[in-house]
Chains A and B, each alone.
Chain A
Amino acid sequence: MNAVQSGLVVQALLALAAVATGLLLPIAWRSRVTGALCALLGVAGIVTGAAALGGTTGALTIPLALPIDPLVLSPDRLGGLFMIVVSAVGALVSLFGIGSARGAEASRTSWAAMAVFLCGMQLVPAATDVVSFLLLWEIMTLGSTVLLLADHATRSTVFSAAIWYSAMSQLSFFFVLAGFGVLVAATGGTGFQTLATVPADSLPANLAFVLLLLGFGGKAELVPLHVWVPRVLPEAPSHVAAAMSGAMVKIGVYGALLVCVRLLPSGPPWWGVLILVLGGVSAVYGILQASVASDLKVLLAYSTTENMGLVFLGLGASVLLRSYHATAAADAALVAALLLMVSHAAFKTTLFLGAGAVHHATGELNLDRLGGLGKRMPWTAGTFGLASLGAASLPITSGFVAEWMLLQSLIHGARLDGEVVSVAASIAMPLAVAVLALTAGLALLTFVKAYGIAFLARPRSRKASIAREVPWVMRVPLVLGALAVVGLGLVPGPLAAGIAAVVGPGIVPDVHTVGLAGVSFAGIDAVLDPSTLVILAGLVLVPILVIVALGARRHPTRVDPLPWAGGGSRLRPRMQYTATSYAEPLVRVFDDVLRPSRDVEVTHVGESRYLVEKVHVEQTVSDVIETRLYRPVLNAAQRFGLVARRAQDGSIHRYLGYSFAALLIVLIAVSL
């Protein structure tokens, strides 16, 4: 057995061990032992993935009693990359779970389900045939559904979230199953290599592409299949939400890459346009909803829709440009999409864990009731801040490098050797740049709001004012995540070279490492070296720090409880801006898209028209797609159910009549 084979076996064994300890150990030991085993499971996944990424191939064949091909697990380089990302998130999340899981979240079922969920998720990228892929996919979905239900006894909303989640997961599963089914019928085998022989311009290929894109897009939280996200992630325990948002959505991305890179690599231009539109709409819609959200987890959940939208935008641009033979730009867009995926795993996991730490310390996730946590929880604040920089794609984080590369590939995409490649590309690329820019701008606002309102200024509630820093077992994953956000951003050169090797040997000669781990894309003439930028910033900073140090000795900073109060009393914390008021201008600007419902109630003093006793303002921003697209369908289903119930009145005679009618219909159908 080589490293990959033994790695796969070790993962399965560790998962079994974790399930056993989760089910058997008493509460005092359960979280510690099972959490540690789950973290080890993640480490095993990282090692296996690294071996596969390094080019080791090893297959684990599981023969079946059924008359179909045996299940074969054998991760290729692409699978190896995703296995590393997913496992790394899993390891951090398990460590965090040791400290954060309390009560029902640390029950026997929850920890056992956690191990099942992580193991399924880590092994999906290793599948090389349809059956094992779908089997592991369902294990992952089932594990996460059970985890989601942890708090169902105390919160009624959990139940409805679980129903939404199951329904939407099964909808994506259905699409994936149907898509693979079409390909299997067309090629006659279940292995991915056999499926890839389908001609790209045939009807089965087109049909399968659309179905698979919808299925994987649903898992990757793309609009309009994202409706489960804002319901599910806030209800799931924090570490589970981090695993879902940081890792599980990546499996959707993996599926899409599997389709676009491995199975159906040379699609017509409209495939690219379809992915581009799906990604662009998701990006803008997701960030718009995130920017007006006041609940920290809802904000992060919608932001995941945005980030995955950008990944699909890059993928779509890559497919579109490749169909026009603009290879260099297409490659750059593909590498950018994968960089975005990797960096998203780092910063979104840290952000969700940070939100979990805030919840652990204050029991509150509503930004309008937080504030001033920076002083009380410096570790959480620092790591959340760095991850926010990543989410807002600011230098020197990995998010910045990824977005920069995507922009470069887009602006170089529409032209090849000075000639316009096509009218479609020359309209699509500027629009994609505009979408990316608007998304980046709104992401900036979103994360300034999230960080500024939660961690700066004064506490807006008593719970926030007595918050304490979380224990070290929760701090370690936060710090590791934040280090990954910055670290990956400082070494884009090796990272991009590694990713290029994953998606295709044709890209490798185009990507170089320059300077101190900077990246250079020869085909599109783009260079970036974040480390040099940091050194430059450091040089510029020196004189300022000297002046500050000299000034601080003569005139130290004075802290005044009543600054600028003009003799009056200090303003009360409630007078500060809240998350809701922060996003108010944006709600007004995008009124037509967000459709907020606003209710203002003014109570006057006595008979006076001018003196106001109190003003009650209520504003809710609901998900337009849910109310416009899903509600009508659900209502129709409910009406149909009510009508259908009349047919079921419990009369035995009527049921006998039904059976007779059914038999008649069958006989008539057979005789025709």
Chain B
Amino acid sequence: MRVGTAVELTWAGIGAPILMAVLQLALFVFLAPLLIGVIRQVRARLEGRAGAGIWQPWRDVRKLLAKEPVHAADSSWMLTVGPIVLLVSSLLLCVLLPLVGTLALPLIPSDLFVIVSVMLIGVVALALVGLDGGTAFGGMGSSRHMTVAALVEPTLLLSIYALSIPAGSSTLSLIVQTRLQTPAVIISPVSLLAMVALAIAIMAETSRLPIDNPSTHLELTMLHEAMVLESSGRDLAWLELGSWLKLAALLGLLGNLIVPWGVLTDFTVPGLLLGAVAVAAKVLALGTALSVGEVFLAKARLFSVPELLAGSFALALLAVTASYLVA
């Protein structure tokens, strides 16, 4: 029994994980807009533009929070509540994922299936916000967004399944710990296949190239942007922050799976700080790599996205069956 069934009312059982979760939350709320700033700035420099600076997303959020939201006359409470739901779902990701360390909160282990479901709540909230505006663009974005989300899910869950096999559990903190203790797992072919599949799934979930172009406002190619077109003020700030947090948290997860070193496993204060610095470095490094990669990528046609996802699904399936039959 590795997952605790009874709550231990001790510092190590409750206090340390909660402190770590709070730190994780604060760190990622600070880091997420910065990550977007870095991604945009790197891209701007590579394309020969000056760029707005890495703090611009933070300034945008501050500006939007101080503006009044405007709603269409026929829209409902969904335009107000949806963005908050998306933000809460992203914040929960930041609490539950093993980013700074692998200390698990009591009763809510970082079970990947639970985490995916929490993330899907945000996906659904965003899709409903897109529909509630009552315009063709919102509906179009929402429809495409949900189609991609539906097709990504098999890849996502199967790659999780493949990663869970060496650890014997779908609890993420255990998976990261296993990779830390036996680094050979990381470069095993099964793990590599699963990581590639997971990376493609994450790109699709966070609306990055080649599935969606995050900087487009061209009507026919929008996915994410089309859904947030009708939102403004606070609502838009929450939507943007929620999406950024999701990207940052998932990149942090990817970073910890590829390079698990630096992650806090036993609580110490220097270890906590080291964990925070390490995960921030991993997220920013992955963000930079993502940005560089995106400069050389074009957005895939909407109807060739399923082919890409089918390919990544095949990788994930191969990873799972191989780990049973070959290993």
Contacts and interface: CB of A to CB of B under 8 A. Distances in A.
Interface of A: 291, 372, 374-375, 392-395, 400, 404, 407-408, 411-412, 414-415, 418, 420, 423, 426-427, 430-431, 433-434, 436-438, 440-442, 444-445, 448-449, 451-453, 455-458, 512, 514-515, 518, 520, 522, 525-529, 532-533, 536-537, 540-541, 544-545, 547-548, 551-552, 554-561, 563-564, 570-571, 573, 575-577, 581-586, 588-589
Contact of A430 (B72, B142, B321): B321
Nearest to B317: A430
B321 A458 contact: no
Contacts of A400: 117
Nearest to A436: B157
B113 A404 contact: yes
A453 B157 contact: no
A441 B72 contact: no
A556 B118 CA distance: 30
Contact of B158 (A430, A533, A583): A430
A577 B153 CA distance: 24
Contacts of A434: 154, 157-158, 313, 317
A585 B107 contact: no
Given A441-B152, A560-B71, A577 B91 contact: no
Contacts of A456: 75-76, 78, 128, 131-132, 134
Contact of A563 (B25, B71, B157): B71
Given A411-B161, A555-B67, A563-B230, A394 B120 contact: yes
Of the listed residues A420, A430, A436, A548, the one surrounded by the most CB atoms of chain B closer than 10 A to its CB is A430
A438 B133 contact: no
B66 interface: yes
Interface size class of B (residues with CB under 8 A): 35 or more
Contact of A561 (B73, B95, B135): B73
Interface stretch (B2-10, B32-40, B284-292): B2-10
A598 to B, nearest CB: 15
What does DSSP make chain A's interface, helix, strand, loop or mixed? helix
B117 A394 contact: yes
Secondary structure of the B contact surface, majority rule: helix
B131 A555 contact: no
Contacts of A404: 111, 113-114, 117
Given A423-B325, A576-B136, A581-B143, A527 B109 contact: yes
Given A444-B149, A525-B2, A557-B80, A582 B302 contact: no
Contacts of B76: 374-375, 455-456
Given A444-B124, A526-B111, A414 B68 contact: no
B70 A558 contact: yes
Contact of A441 (B111, B114, B150, B230): B150
A609 B107 CA distance: 66
Contact of B88 (A431, A525, A529, A544): A544
Interface stretch (B164-172, B246-254, B259-267): B164-172
28 contacts: A374-B76, A374-B78, A392-B124, A394-B121, A395-B118, A411-B170, A418-B168, A438-B150, A445-B150, A452-B142, A456-B134, A457-B131, A514-B7, A515-B107, A527-B5, A529-B108, A532-B107, A533-B114, A536-B92, A547-B65, A555-B233, A559-B70, A561-B72, A563-B71, A563-B72, A585-B147, A585-B302, A588-B303
B134 A458 contact: yes
Contacts of B107: 514-515, 518, 527, 529, 532
A520 B87 CA distance: 29
A444 B92 contact: no
